[in-house]
Amino acid sequence: MSKRHSSSNTRELEKQQVSSQQSPKKTGIKRGMILPFLPLSMSFDKVNYYVDMPKEMKSQGVTEHRLQLLREVTGAFRPGVLTALMGVSGAGKTTLMDVLAGRKTGGYIEGDIRISGFPKKQETFARIQ
């Protein structure tokens, strides 16, 4: 490789480094709006989740009207603390997260779910999710 070719590559790299260090206003790059972030905690106590009993189970002789998918689940998520949710396949991990996030529209939820100590109102929570 010749010196001339090598020095032109070096200049090109320097230009790229300088342009990548400039602010978005100078480079014309638009960035997304940054929303204010307030770390919140979430706690849940004795959460139960039921769905209507499937017809297949009723036809097999099950007499209950509801099928319980979560039973007396208690826990908390804190800002800055890594939390692991573990369990065997079918234990209800995804169901719990869906209930806490308000993604379960059918069924019946019982128990206490709080955001930073305040009762969770799904209408408010849905806007900030």
23-33: per-residue pLDDT in tens? Answer: 555 555 666 77
Sign of CA dihedral 109, 111, 113, 114: positive
Q: Is residue 21 part of a domain?
A: no
SS3 category, 91:
coil
What's the gap between Cα 45 and its chain centre?
19
- At residue 26, the pLDDT reads 58
Q: Is residue 79 part of a domain?
A: yes
Number of domains in the chain: 1
Q: Is residue 110 part of a domain?
A: yes
Q: Is residue 29 part of a domain?
A: no
CA-nearest of 78, 73, 118 to 97 is: 73
Query: 119 forms bridges with which residues in the sheet?
Result: 114
Residue 3 corresponds to which tokens in the numbers above? 């010196």
Residue 122 corresponds to which tokens in the numbers above? 């799904």
Q: Write the pLDDT tens digit of every residue in 30-68.
A: 667 777 788 999 999 999 999 999 999 989 998 999 999
Q: Is residue 56 part of a domain?
A: yes
pLDDT at residue 4 greater than cutoff 90: no
- At residue 37, the pLDDT reads 80
Q: Is residue 14 part of a domain?
A: no
Query: 75 forms bridges with which residues in the sheet?
Result: 44
Q: Write the pLDDT tens digit of every residue in 72-97.
A: 999 999 999 999 999 999 999 999 99
Q: Is residue 74 part of a domain?
A: yes
Q: Is residue 49 part of a domain?
A: yes
Domain holding 112, by residue range, is: 42-128
